[in-house]
Structure formats: C-alpha cells, structure tokens
Amino acid sequence: MTTEYLFAGFGGQGLLFSGKVLAYKALIEDKFVSWLPSYGPEMRGGTANCSVIISDSPVGAPIITNPDVLVAMNLPSLDKYENAVKKGGMIIVDSSLIERKVKRDDVSVFYVPATDMASKSGSPTLANMILFGKMLKETGTLNEETLNAALGKCISARHKDMFDLNLNAVKIGCAE
C-alpha cells in the first residue's frame, strides 16, 4: 500500500517540518518513504509545500500528482490542490486561515481552526502540529511510540521544551 501526503501553505508555517516528522515516523515503522520539499525563493511568506510518500514497497517517483491526503494551510494551496486529491481521499483545512468550504463531495473533509487553537494554547506557531495530530487521528495512523521517536529525531535533545510543546500540539489535534 502507498499513501501520498501533500502539506501546503505559506513558508514559515512549519509544513516541511510536519512532513519530516511524518517521514521519520514511517521510517521508524520500517516503511519505505520519500520527502520532497518545494524549494526556491519562497522561504517565508511565499507558498511552500512538501510531498511525503509512505509505502510498503520502494518509492518510485517522489513527486506527487494526486495526493491521498492534503493538509492545506492557506487559500492558494486549497485552490491549487483541491481537485488533485484522489477520489475518496482526505482534505484537512486550517479553517482559521481559509474561510471557504471544500467544493468536492467525494473526499472526506475536516475543518480545524488550528491557528486559533494554537494561539489559545500559548504556542501560536504550532498550528502545523495541531493539523498533523488531526491527520494522524483521521488516517488511523496514530502510534504514540513511533510518534515520540520521530519527534525525538526531528527536535534536538537540547530543545526538550520544544519537544513537549510539539507533542502537546499533536495531542490537541488528535483530541479535536
């Protein structure tokens, strides 16, 4: 089985980071995985996205045309990728930042006011991890042990506080 994830939004929202945690989690679960960022003059404020492919067999092209799961953190990304999502796929929308609804009715859609929730939780920059938690829950891929290990690989041991904050944000997303 192969699942293709696309995380898309503005540069600086932490989408590449969520993708990396997902990829590491899959690696720890002994899956085949690829992670491909958009790169370029985008960095902060421009559009940024990253493609993660997780599979039981070696990954061919690391480029995604039709994702199974789309996590959208701004309107341009939803506009651009909504129709690319596979039929029966999933779209997770940060409804604090995207006012419109998803037009399709052949995909599952979850609206999470993640940016507002992140601000309320005291970590306004961790909306990405709230959406990530929601995604793990709805795709049935939550595994606390591998999640912890993956976060540990992506956050250096010197930043234990960041580890706790990220894990907490994922939990908020899971509870949503």
Partner 1 sequence: MSDKVLMKGNEAIAEAAIMAGCRHYFGYPITPQTEIAAYMARRMPKIGGTFLQAESEVAAINMVYGAASAGVRVMTSSSSPGISLKSEGISYLAGADLPAVIVNAQRGGPGLGGIQPSQSDYFQATRGGGHGDYHMIVLAPASVQEMASLTIKAFDLADKWRTPCMILADGTTGQMMEPVSFDFDIAPAPEKPWALTGTQGKRAHNITNSLYLSPEELETHNFNRFKKYDEIMKTEPIAEEYKADDADIILVAFGIASRVSKNAVDEARGAGIKAGLIRPITLWPFPSDILFKHTEHARHFISVELSMGQLIEDVMLSTRCRRPVTLCNRAGGMIPVPSQILQAIQNVAANGGN
Q: How far apart (Å, rounded) are the C-alpha atoms in residues 52 and 60?
A: 12
Q: Annotate each residue in 130-159 with x if it binds partner 1 (CB under 8 A) or - if it does not, as one string.
A: -------------------x---x------
Q: How far apart (Å, rounded) are the C-alpha atoms in residues 62 and 39?
A: 14
Q: Annotate each residue in 12-41 with x if it binds partner 1 (CB under 8 A) or - if it does not, as one string.
A: --------x--xx--xx-x-xxxxxx-xxx
CB of 29 to partner 1, least distance (A): 8
Nearer to partner 1, 96 or 146 (CB): 146
Q: Which of residues 59-118 bind partner 1 (CB under 8 A)?
A: 59-63, 65
CB of 51 to partner 1, least distance (A): 9
Check residue 41 and report its DSSP letter.
Answer: S
Q: How far apart (Å, rounded) are the C-alpha atoms in residues 25 and 33?
A: 10
Q: How far apart (Å, rounded) are the C-alpha atoms in residues 79 and 55?
A: 27
Q: Strands 2-10, 69-72: parallel, antiparallel or unpaired by DSSP?
A: parallel
Q: How many CB atoms lie within 10 A of CB 152?
A: 15
CB of 61 to partner 1, least distance (A): 4
> C-alpha 86: how far from its chain's center?
17
Nearer to partner 1, 93 or 147 (CB): 147
CB of 69 to partner 1, least distance (A): 18
- Using CB under 8 A as the binding rule, whether residue 43 contacts partner 1 is answered as no
CB of 157 to partner 1, least distance (A): 15
For 53, counting Cβ atoms within 10 Å of its Cβ (0-12 exposed, 13-18 middle, 19+ buried), the class is: buried
Instruction: Catalog residues that contact partner 1 under the rule CB under 8 A.
Output: 20, 23-24, 27-28, 30, 32-37, 39-41, 59-63, 65, 149, 153
